[in-house]
Amino acid sequence: MLYDIGDKKKLLKTMLSQKRYQHSLNVAAECRRLAEKYGEDPDKAYFAGLLHDICKELPAEEQKELVLSSGYAVCREELDTRSLWHAIAGAYYVKSKFGVEDIDILNAIRFHTVGRAGMTRLEEIVYLGDLISAERDYKDVDKMRKITYVSLDAAMLEAFSFSIKNQVKKNGVIPLCTVEGYNFYTRLADEEKIKTDKK
């Protein structure tokens, strides 16, 4: 598949603030690096990373309209949380406006904020690329970057823990897919520990 990056960048510049546009470029670059390290298609990863926030700065009513039109299964917690709408809206926008049918790209955009159980390699890369992009400066970002370049599974568990703790601190709701994702990667870690202990 050929990824028409030039036209997408021009469009993003009209849809996003300079800060958000730069973030999108940073995430795309991070996704490319992670794809090269973990054997995923670098161009596909760059494309998904570039477009992950395409609907982030649309008016709230437009985002919600896209969410409701998308046909995606959306839980109540997502519908109740405005900051999550852009990911669902973005996946639908990329599908309907650009004709992207690659479910891996669409899911990478759709789940880049909430995650889920059984994410594909590309979904993990976009989720983590967003979390560790160059401009990120939260307290444990360097730790997160190190883990991400050692093990995607370990990084996903760390990322889910980080996300859930943040929501609990803010008394925010936690989507079911996020809880399922945390449980999924916790089980993977437990299985890995059992294998290691047997050696």
Contact 99, 4 (CB under 8 A): no
Q: What is the mean pLDDT of residues 138-167?
A: 96
* Residue 113 three-state SS: coil
- Cα separation, 75 vs 178, in Å, equals 11
- Cα separation, 156 vs 25, in Å, equals 22
What's the mean pLDDT when you consider all of the chain?
95
Q: What is the mean pLDDT of residues 79-103?
A: 96
Q: If we measure between CA atoms, which residue out of 144, 146, 118 comes closest to residue 131?
A: 144
Q: Count structural domains, the chain.
A: 1
Give residue-wise pLDDT tens across range 3-47: 789 999 999 999 999 999 999 999 999 999 999 999 999 999 999
**What CATH number does the domain containing 151 carry?**
1.10.3210.10
State which residues form the domain around 109: 5-198
29, exposed or middle or buried, with CB in 10 Å at 0-12, 13-18, 19+?
A: middle
